[in-house]
Chains A and B, each alone.
Chain A
């Protein structure tokens, strides 16, 4: 080893003082390790939202004003005909309530059950606030208790289930950080009480969070070291030298402890997803060490007389460049996620992962060569075959695989293309969703308990509304209370809101009690503000003055409306949040009251919607940055793109597998793609770099493969095996969350390696077959242009828009126009061309909206004969993706057809696909709305502009002006404009009818003025149905004739 070039001279100098370098490195690691003691855990949901976000601010206000926090819930279910209103049952509830109240950390003032609460009733003396359970319990008249409970709607489905078979004890803790130990104590107390014919369940948001946090900690503590050990075991198997394993350990420990330690020193908390960080860093760090040491052992095997230092320097020389490239691209990948993410834990994860990769690179370049020298690594038996410069069995197998790619490039690339398309197709069904309890196995007691409580009671998910007045006692007025009651009524109309409770409920009960009549309807309030204030005073005199502190503050200016939801999924609760927020915006915009949403359901909503808006942007940015760096690294666009192809495939595959297994995209799983990018790109870069270098010296590609693949492939293979099997250890966890993490990352690692091993040689082979030399300057210019283009594409500014409430309200009303689940109608189409020539068609149209948000449309032509039985079918999955099929009787084939742009002509008419499939509605996400002037008093003029050029291009117009009927909210006329001031197309609803309660356009005319062509749709035999046979919408059966009953019945 001469050390004549720049690289080797650097490494010669770096290895002059191995003891000093290794000692300094160990000191740095020790310093970082000291910071780990400062690590603070924050596994709360709220951590995922910036602290100044309105939902967090409201949540904190609610906590401060009403003292409400996450609750535990203990349910008692009585069997064999026993009900809660049984003497022994009530005694048990009371006993358990008392026992739970004595647990350390349980807030005794915040425990509620039928044993602690009171009913309100009227009497000759005024208002009676009487506890349900007497002291002693034996004095309780259970029949009377039941009657009083029946008169207290706020306590129904909350303290006792409606079927009276179950009772609930709800309580909060004083210190949320000790919730896990409190949970264990609650379980102990609950199980210590034995009573025949009763089952006890412990759940509630606080219990679920505590249990999850506890399980993650326990599993992570057990399994993360196991991952570490498995990885090191495979390093040992790869090199069969303890010294090599020790070197790898130093790099891995230095990287992991270093990055995590710096994170702690900087005061960044340890979030739930930070669990993944050490394992990622282990994998990246070990990869660098494996590559360097593989080269070292190969050199030592080929020439055992080579001095250690020379072999070390030569290995560093050979691997420094690819390791730098892989580190840079991995850092770029994580930076992309960090830049795009708006959730602090994900941002921190990405930045510290990037830092860790940089540290892994630094340790590999500086500490590793010195450690190798210090340990004086001797030749390894694992590399014996290299003595004759022949690779071992693994190297030969990998060579055979890559050779297949070189010999059959079209087959390999075609197969991967097919896989990519299939994966893409599958990935389109991936959805954003979250349910905390689904982090547990279905047979976990806490999951069963949570599901039981949600099924029996009003629910453990809370959507709170904070109502504030600027005046003291400003809420104790008939007007304010009326608005609160209206709000409660609206909330309870939402599908998943089971019950709402507010001070208005209790005032209504007081009203009934004071009037001493049963004729008062629920939530009926007195008609004078003074009466409301007096009722509050009366209650304070009759009952516990603190009873209402969860509903209204002492000044009477802040009240809480608590909505209880029994849904566990974000996808379901979001509908309620959006509808209620819209209602608040519409109703309280001009009110003196300030109304804001809070509660865990609202927090989850904001958390998930932020993820939804940023996830794909982050992955896209990450891939773009990796692409830019790869192009720069190889100074070649094709090679840069090639490096990104395997990892892109892997990301697609991950999405496809997630979609197939029904794994939602949520904060934890959203990291899979980022990790895949970080891990996957390395293999491709190593392979390309080595193959490119070998190709420059070897006469044929196959010779270059023989030189490059066995060594680099072997190194990558052991790296992947270590990673894959290491991560697979996480699948032993009892938590589906960790199982998924382990499984997906292992899959990503194997997929990236396999894709790189096959695709890269195939691409080299294909490109050589088709190669034409490109002049250097031209290539450089093309590279520069491409880099600029990529940068411009990724750095494009987001369009902003100003909303105008009234216009949005009109658009919302149009969007809210009711649609039936299933529709059958016949269309007479009349198409008139510029010469006045008329063509007519008749078609049967079937539409099914099931499940909600998914729309299937089938159009079967009845006339003319030439196209009879031609059928068109589309499945629109909530605007995310659309699939279409066409059956042409002449071809006897059902053909899947590609989707067109939404603005394209619909089956050769003047209507666009958007006109037909939107049912004359305007997608609220697509447009900025404004209101224009109209002479028609019974109509609104709604103006809309697509929110981006891409949407405008897809829709085929720049703006529209729609006259909206103020009664039906059907547009009576829509004018579509491009750049000109005159519309190029006008759609008119010439006739509208109210059929079965649905406003229906029965005659629509589209006049394409630019083409001087028009289409008239006349609908007849319109029938709204509760259901239609799903077979009519199954593409496999599109060739079947529709039953005559569908055609003739009215």
Chain B
């Protein structure tokens, strides 16, 4: 009966919305991607992706935003075992991606109603929140991410939208944004066998390299949609030439903590996602051809695993992360972005699975040619503690306003224990064709 009432209510709302609705804009984009590994000449990706977006306006203040993505990857290397991971990463049934055959699926990216009045805005539905100011790396992630293509795609492409409410309104000179995300999604981590499977010990609860991935049975206890909801608040304002940001978040972790127990046949690893509390201070400023941004993020009483001779336990520690970045316009149209991220676990016990220091340097150089129709970009990620790196070069050519061709190469190097070195043999070259209808 309740469901019927809900359906009637939704039907009524939809009907009244549809009566006044006008299709304000729509986009239809297709992407063909073909990737091969440079080492084994193996086909890694043969994918076609179609994205559709539409904005429907019911009145001056009310609109509906819809976005969906259909993807089909014939190679099935990046994302094998679709059934398993879909359940794992998208426990909320409204998040599930309907399968299309063995290799295809449909995903609702955005589906929200937005009410806007003056400078205030309220959104309800499935949406993304980008609250990190750094490029390619996020110290303050509100939404979880999909790592099946590691970090080769843009953040918006890999970030997972979530269901929830978002409020945005001014208070004096401050802009206040708050969100309540009733969504238990967590990071979409590639499962065993996937091209970008995380094999480094720090991502496998400290399991040694030689230990096979499937040596244990795995159970997953996903967070509760309502009880473990995420609440986030951000306040920002301009101070002269500088924008400062304060933010806080309480929600569930997106990376699992493990608990190992001896099962009937094999050990059972239970993955849980405890609560997390984050606070952030950030700023962005600039002078002339230099822009500077920085974030200081503290995560308090973060639950992390310790491992002592195969025994997993948990401990609570504070983690501090500082990220600074600068954009520079150099001579000869050269653009450079430099970022330094320093992460420290305070009073880390020796047996901690996560490294005590996690320092990362990223360098991006970009140069447009032929009136921005051809863009060369080189990006380098360097783990300063473990010395491993990812070097990524791309050439982007737009023969017309509707078509873009991108050739991207990614080279990983370093120790198999490192976040980049674990993919030392996963170097790839990818050709992507994008077309906008």
Contacts and interface: CB of A to CB of B under 8 A. Distances in A.
29 contacts: A410-B340, A414-B322, A414-B340, A418-B283, A422-B285, A422-B292, A425-B286, A426-B241, A429-B240, A429-B241, A864-B401, A865-B436, A866-B404, A866-B436, A881-B241, A882-B288, A891-B155, A892-B156, A893-B130, A896-B286, A896-B291, A897-B291, A898-B289, A898-B291, A900-B289, A1013-B371, A1036-B175, A1036-B238, A1044-B60
Contacts of A883: 241, 286
B288 A426 contact: no
Interface string B273-296: 000000000011111111111100
B291 A864 contact: no
Contacts of B289: 898-901
Given A425-B287, A428-B287, A1035-B243, A833 B401 contact: no
Contacts of B328: 898
A1036 B242 contact: no
Contacts of B243: 896, 1035-1036
B221 interface: no
Contacts of B329: 898-901
A483 B116 CA distance: 60
A935 B324 CA distance: 58
B308 interface: no
B128 interface: yes
A1031 B130 CA distance: 21
A426 B293 CA distance: 14
B322 to A, nearest CB: 7
A659 interface: yes
A537 interface: no
A908 B290 contact: no
Interface string A897-936: 1111100110011000000000000000000000000000
Nearest to B437: A865
Contacts of B372: 908
B286 A410 contact: no
Given A425-B240, A831-B371, A899-B329, A418 B119 contact: no
A866 B51 CA distance: 13
A1035 B242 contact: no
B62 to A, nearest CB: 13
Contacts of A659: 240
A421 B402 CA distance: 39
A154 to B, nearest CB: 45
B371 A833 contact: yes
A422 B293 CA distance: 10
Given A421-B292, A864-B402, A893-B130, A898 B156 contact: no
Nearest to A426: B240
Contacts of A882: 288
Given A898-B328, A908-B372, A660 B240 contact: yes
Given A864-B402, A890-B154, A414 B241 contact: no
**Max chain B Cβ within 10 angstroms of own Cβ: one of A421, A424, A899:** A421
Given A418-B294, A1036-B175, A896 B27 contact: no
B288 A411 contact: no
Contacts of A890: 154, 156
A1035 B288 contact: no
Contacts of A865: 27, 402, 436
Contacts of B370: 833
B57 to A, nearest CB: 8
B362 to A, nearest CB: 15
B236 interface: yes
Contacts of A575: none
B238 A425 contact: no
Interface residues of B, number: 53
A1040 B242 contact: no
Contacts of B286: 425, 883-884, 896-899
A421 B340 contact: no
A879 interface: no
B327 A428 contact: no
B209 to A, nearest CB: 30
Contacts of B436: 864-866
- List 6 tightest A-B contacts by C-beta distance, closest first: A425-B285, A908-B372, A425-B241, A421-B292, A864-B401, A898-B329
Contacts of B395: none
B262 interface: no
Given A881-B241, A904-B333, A891 B287 contact: no
Given A426-B240, A865-B436, A898-B329, A891 B27 contact: no
Interface in B1-30: 25, 27
Given A411-B342, A898-B288, 6 more contacts: A411-B322, A867-B401, A883-B286, A892-B156, A896-B243, A1035-B243
A1043 interface: yes
B283 A422 contact: yes
Given A892-B128, A896-B291, A1040-B116, A839 B241 contact: no
Nearest to B434: A866
A178 B239 CA distance: 46
A278 to B, nearest CB: 34
Nearest to A834: B370
A809 interface: no
Interface string B298-315: 000000000000000000
A839 B238 contact: no
A789 B287 CA distance: 25
A884 B241 CA distance: 11
A1037 interface: yes
Given A881-B287, A883-B286, A418 B156 contact: no
A1011 B372 CA distance: 13
Nearest to A1031: B119
**Max chain B Cβ within 10 angstroms of own Cβ: one of A865, A867, A899, A1035:** A865
B290 A898 contact: yes
Interface string A662-694: 000000000000000000000000000000000
A494 to B, nearest CB: 31
A891 B130 contact: yes
A868 interface: yes
A664 to B, nearest CB: 15
Contacts of B287: 421, 424-425, 428, 881
A896 B135 CA distance: 12
B383 to A, nearest CB: 15
B327 A898 contact: yes
A532 to B, nearest CB: 57
B325 to A, nearest CB: 10
Interface in B100-155: 116, 118-119, 121, 128, 130, 133, 154-155
Contacts of B294: 418
Contacts of B322: 411, 414
Contacts of B333: 904
A899 B288 contact: yes
Interface string B41-77: 0000000000000000000100000000000000000
B21 to A, nearest CB: 14
A659 B373 CA distance: 41
B242 A425 contact: yes
A1035 B287 CA distance: 16
Contacts of A418: 283, 292, 294, 324
Contacts of B327: 896-898
A881 B288 contact: yes
Contacts of A897: 286, 291, 327
A790 to B, nearest CB: 21
Given A410-B342, A896-B286, A908 B241 contact: no
Contacts of A1036: 175, 236, 238, 243
Contact of A891 (B154, B236, B239, B342): B154
Interface in A993-1050: 1011, 1013, 1031, 1035-1037, 1040, 1043-1044
B251 to A, nearest CB: 19
A924 B121 CA distance: 45
B199 to A, nearest CB: 30
A839 B25 contact: no
